[in-house]
Structure 1
Amino acid sequence: MAPRQREPSIDRTDEYDKFMEDLAAYHEKRGTVLDREPKVGPRHLDLFRLYKRVCEEGGYDKVSDIKAKPLAWRRLAAEFLPGVSNITGLAFLVKTAYYKNLAAYEITNVHKREPPPKEILEDVTAKGGDLLNRTLENFLIPVGRDAESSANDGDKDKDGEGPDREPAKTPKEEKMDIDEPGSTGGRVTRGLRHAPPQRVLFQPEVSSRQTRQSSNRLNSPTPGSSTVGAQTNGTYATSFSLANYEPSQPIASSVKPVVTPGNNPDYFRNMARKLAANRASRGVQHHKGMMLPGTGFIGPNIYIRALLALQSGIVEEQKYALHHLVKISHERGDKYRFDGFPGLAEALISKVLEVSSLFYDVRWELSYADSDSTAGPYTLNGLTGTPDLLQKIGALTPLDAEDDIQTEEFSEALATINEAGLILRNMVMLDQNAEYVASLPLVKDFIVIALNLPHVSCTVELQHYALEIAEQLTKFYVLGGQSPLYQSLLAQLESADRGAIITSLRALGRIAMNSEVNNRLSDVPVAILQRICDWLLIEDEELRLACLDFLYQFTATLDNVEILARNVNSQSLVNQLARLLLYHAHFDERRERTRTLAKNGPPPDTPPRLASTIVEQLAVIEEPERSSQWLKTCFEEDPAGEITQIALWTAYNQSFQAASQQPGRPALSQAKDFITNVSNTFPGAIAQVVQQGPIAKYTIKGLRPRAVPVDLRGRPYMPCQWLIPAPPSTTLPPQLPNQPPRPKLQPCNEYAFKPAQMWEHVLSSHLGLPHDAATGKFDLEIVRSTSDPMVDVKPDIKPLPERRYDCKWGGCRHFAATNGESNPHVVAKHIKTHLPDDSPQSAHRSRHNRAPPPDTDTDHSSTPTPGGAASAKAAHKYFLNTATDERNDAAGLPLASVLVLRNLARGFGKMDAASGGDESWVRSVFAPVKEQLYYVMAYNLSLREYIASLTRAVAAAGG
């Protein structure tokens, strides 16, 4: 699957743009640097949204107050950085981004106070708070340790310790004293650590017994002795104490005699004689080196214990194993895998195969030899499967068993078999286990045996387990029409059990899904096809979806479409599928920008050439956001589109190579990272390798260039349609004879977003009118040559030769009759008629749903122009959208219905082409629903692309 599209970090709305302009002006006035999009971790912070959230919490000081709001910054960081690990470390970066860019702005605009100067605000760290009370007098600018030590030494030399000086720092709350030993109260966090109390060596009590030199020696000092403290320092006192230390006399311990072979040999001889007699009486043989139970050996874990018990064949041990494996498979299915415990799957399959012995006079024998070993009537081949299993089951002799009254042995045996089937069902829900079990041929034999058991109530549970196992395994199988498993699944469609029917349809629809072989659902009885078509009329969404999944696989081949067309009422089927296209559709009102295109030509092969203003806007964005925005600007998803990777990378490199080389601009990403980011930006785009003989072609499927680029918010740019001379290499369409040669012209295709920008571009670039860079206005006065005696030329204006202006917007012929216009003011007003009206009066009329009065003489804004959009305006549209998935793609019954309809249209078209007659299946079946299909394509955004593909298939078949 393609990776999910990364969500944008910043919502660039008009309100966001206005806020950032005000914030940039504030920082410029304050003399600080604004980081417009600070990057924290993998994402860029939206300063506007962060500012609103902090203000909602009470401001920077309230959020930073540990007592009032503990861990507030961590909570805010989790909101702005969803799914990012190490949120504790990134919370301080979010706080720093707000402190540097928004703290002073908040004090000015929210609290209406003068913020501290930048020397004690933006230029220092974001640790701490209390910004509203921070001043130059009470705040101490933090310095390094070396500088702080030098400053402290200088203060001591100059002013001493300074006990009377007040600390030059922001006042803090008073810290509690050092904790007493054993106290439960903790210190105030972030306080200074107190020095530990001095340790005093242990001094034993001095014995009262006097030695011979006692009169000449000093007594051993005590810790509280003031005499020693007054005469010696700490080092001398410690040495003196160590020199006079005398340990106390050891106390004699009481001893207990131990019986050993040396001091009491008779005792050990009697003990050995008794052990030998007990061993002989029990018949126990002594095994040297074996750890017997009860001697400290804990045995295997529960997984190995259950596996060995299941393989032992002992009934009680198997009950124990199955009881625990049911719980393990339900709770630890992702950890308890078949490939980690060899033999477990085979043991479970052998257990469930015992169900035949409860209803038939048979006990299956498992053979792992060649296929000839299946000649026996009760033998199953464990290597290749049993192809004649249905015939063997039909030849079995059933036992007389009452469904209502069962023996105790029968109930216990069936319960253990059901437990084994439940374990298999739980385990195959994991794809790795399903792939492992699918490689065992015996599991197909078990499913066939379980589905062909007698139709009694006690077999329903095991049959449902078998169907659910088959639903998970058939995607790994390629089943022919004569396969026992395939025939058994088809037989379930004739039952009256809704659950069995739905699961069987799902299993049949998934056959060979994970295989490259195109599986054909062959030999399907006509009665079953008719029942499936009838089930589409039932108001049961799950049953309908299972039927459509089966029909989608069934109609994928032409032979099956012919069978369906000749045995089922195809027109009724198509009508019902067309009704399901709007199943559970809901009204959706959207405000879109609509564009009127000149003609629906073929999609462009190359991306649009971006104007320098658009390139400058994108060049300041860091990678990979820049490449994502460029891709969204120039490309769009198209399932039928395709572009080579080298062409895509070359277009991107040419767009930003010159801009990225300027100082301070982010560098371009590598080609490998750029191609990887394409799939992240467009989930439907897939990089693939197409082998064309010996040459490999690297392409990206599902992507095509836009005809008109869009801005960062998805709004289309306006192309300039002023005709300019084309390059000499441009090829013109053929001319009619006896016509003068036509000049090679092409549209300018410079893009602008607002009509005013396009108007200025035309006047400056194409008409060459004088432009004042300071005021931004054009000089539209008429300036003639001095040869005209009726015109007074001002002395400060340089006379110019008379010039006539013409309009070349999209082949306009407005001034053709007069051979141009000499008044530039008239030409400038005429150019505005080709551009959309963005005046306040026009916006007011749009809000009140009143169209502007048309002006047939001068209003050309709604006239289509060649190759581009003639007008763009916002309009409210109502749609009937159906269900979508997490990628905003169609899902559910509408999607399944349109896919079946497309298969039918293609199949009927091939049938018409093969028959060559006047009778057309496509016209007779799709003509009654054609208007309904176009209605769905117009009002259902979810199915629009699929309906377009369907209508193309109908049109290609002559419908």
Structure 2
Amino acid sequence: MVQPNQEASATGLAYTSEYNEFIEKLAAYHEKRGTEFVREPKVGSKHIDLLRLFNMVVERGGYDKVSEEKLAWRKVGQEFDLGTLNLPALAFTLKTVYYRNLAAYEISTIHKKEPPPKHILEDRTAKGGKLLTRTVENYNFSKGGGMGHDGSDGSGDDGTPVRDRNGSEETPGSGGRVTRGLRQAPPQRILFQPDTQSSRQTRHVSATSHASSPSHSSHHQQHQPRGASTSYNPSSMDSHSLAVANYEPRPQMPLTLRSVVTPGNNPIEFARRQKAKKDSLALASGKPLPPVNKGIMLPGSGFDGPNIYVRCLCALKSGTKSEQDYALHHLVKISMERGDKYRFESFSGLAEALIEKLLEVSSLFYEVDWQISYADDGAMTSINILNGLDGTPDILQRIAQLPKLDVDDNIQTAELSDTLLMANEAALTMRNMVMLEENAHYVSEMAPLRDFLSIALNLPKLDCVVELKHYALDIAEQLTKYMHFDETDPLYISLLEQLQGEDRGAILTALRAISRISMNLEENNLLRGVPVAVIQNIMDWTLLNDEEMVHACLDFLYQYTAVVDNVDFLITEVQVEPLINQLTRLLAYGAKYVERDVARGPDRRMRAPVEIASIPKDLLAQLYKLDEPERSSQWLRCLFEEDREESITQIALWQAYQARFTSFSIETGRPLLPAAEFIKNVSNTFLEKAAAQVQAGPVQKFIIKGIRMRSVPVDFKGEEYRKCLWRLSPELNTHTGFNTYLGSNTPHGSSKECGEFYMSEEEMYRHILRDHVHAHELENGKFDNKTVGQYVCLWDHCPRFKPEPATKLSQLATHIKVHLSPRPSATKESGDHCGPPPLKKLKPSYLTPGPKQTFQHQVTAIDERHDAAGIPLSAVLVLRNLARNLSKTESEDIALKLPGGVSWVDRLFKPVEPRLYEVMAHNRSLTSYMTDLISAINDS
């Protein structure tokens, strides 16, 4: 047995940690099961990786599924590269390996079932499938197979035929016909022997003849001979007949099967035979044979040709226009669809071919044909030769010296259009390719590509080259992070010139490309030599209502102001005060004001009511529908709530319940809950705090501790009812039926509230008009507005209509709706969401929130770590760079030496200092950065 981590090169297996762990688990499983386990079985000449075999079979559905599928085990064998010679036998051997080592483990771990015992699994042959349904009861021991034995032929191994073999196939030397589709040999019969004795039959048979062969007699009792002769009588067999009976036929020789050569199974041999047949017919007819090209590979024969990648590369290098058109068309598609895997280093020469194609665009507008020279001496013998090793530092001067061609941008020739189209496709391919970091780093070291970018950005200002310029800027944006520029570099100068144009897309991409210079290098990006006009444009663009543009400008300014010399140039050549003011305003870009209430004291408790609240009519109707003890529980929940500090006597609670439901019980015949059960049900209803107790004192009291009466009842869902606050004034003129105002000197103490409870504002509204105002209700549900009277509002202490009573009912009705604002829960229920609101623990109604103080703060953009991000962060970083570097400039020293001189720090930051402190105090995400900024200002 091969041990793990040994002979890895000899077996060809990868002894990974996952493989070793799987083999150890499998070995422990077989040891527990009591079966033999082979760690590294062989099929043919190859060792089998049991982990890989197990995963492949499980992915295909398991052993039973693979055994039912036609030729499935052959397909699994092809995955292990077992070869094509005698593949059926190798497939069955592979199936046997899985059957003996992994089948029971699969049933236990994958299917979570108990595998069959080993005497009907591992100890039997691998014929058939359906191990999951194999049991001792349904297994056919006579045939050596269980359920599903007849379904394994389709699995792809010829060792598990569909039906049982005949006796002739099981005899030694029979060869065992295993080829599917062949007819089986007929069963062996007794050979016919003519009767050589006289035609006269002997009546008496000797005893010796019977005693000499008892097996012979039994044999003939089981198998009655059949033949052409009807005179055969086994009872009269002599010694010659015994020899015939004991005759054994010669062993059958296996048939030699040869496949028929067809165009489907062997096209090469079939073509050779057809050619030989035609040649023989030609020779017979006297015709000459065609010449034989020995050793010559004809086009389209012998190999399938290069793949699409190689063909595109060869076509691009061919110089043939049609081939290049084909190559560029497919390269654009490949770079777009497979750009994440298509790498330049895998196709040597592809980047150089694309660059050479891109350089051809100059010949459309100038009299030039750029050539790339890779000479070590770097000698440039002509103006059109580019240095392929170190780049061409005077490329801009050369472009300025080139003779220009007269190109009409409105009417283009076919040649110009086709050439420009191929250049755009080559640039688009390069642009898509460099989006992958490996490709960007690869081509960043190619000097001809940098020269092309300079050439493309300095093409004539025509509409037809706008697309190509944008592709060049996109390429530059991806490459500058791997490049270092000085102020004389042609590409750096070309990028800065884009900032003086009017194309927003070109300006935005150029800003990003410049801001990324040397990002992935150790060298710093000093951004020297930036023209004053460019700096002024960038400062002006920060005033635009364009978030993307402002962000790009701030990134550039952050890189630019990090260098002291640049800050000195900035405050000398440009008026910086507007920039400081704009950066301070950008600190609040996109800010949202958030209010937060902070409690200044604890919640206040209301005094408990002295009497139980009345039950609304609709709630009482719902309680009548319930049976005990659910009715008493709901009555308690609607009128009482938990409170550790309060209590109520048991007798008062029982009497209140009895008074409410006694008459209903008598009418309906549904008895009330007994008093003892009712008191016990109180504790069951309020599980957390309520409990029956005995209060000690001069007179003992039986109380329920932990509950109190509600001032306002609630429904079954916990929603509070609304109380009618309409005051029942004694001055109400009930004689006329109208709410007539009789005077304004009536004291409020002489009236009391209505006290009825209603859930909806509509019910409350109709109750006031019908029961208090005594308005006449029509049949359609509306109220009559024709009656003239004097109407006042008696809701609580409302002064409306007291000096001048309303004369129409509609005036009072409209005003009453002001007091009946909808409940918050009703507003939510009328919204778009469906279903009841989520359950939550209701806050005690007797607690009144304490005093609170509202604080307001700003929230600007933050990232996933809740740190500052976006434009506010960039603005504060630019301000911090200026505050730190202003004191280090020469202009600062000159300003301080002047009589009454004021430092640049004070001149720029003192006017906005209050605003900076305000942002630091109110913007939480910028607090740390604003602290650094103010510290830098104070230190300077």
TM range (shorter): 0.3 to 0.5
TM-score by length of 1: 0.45
Structure whose CA Rg is larger = 2
Between 1 and 2, higher relative CO (CA 8 Å, sep ≥ 6) is seen in: 1
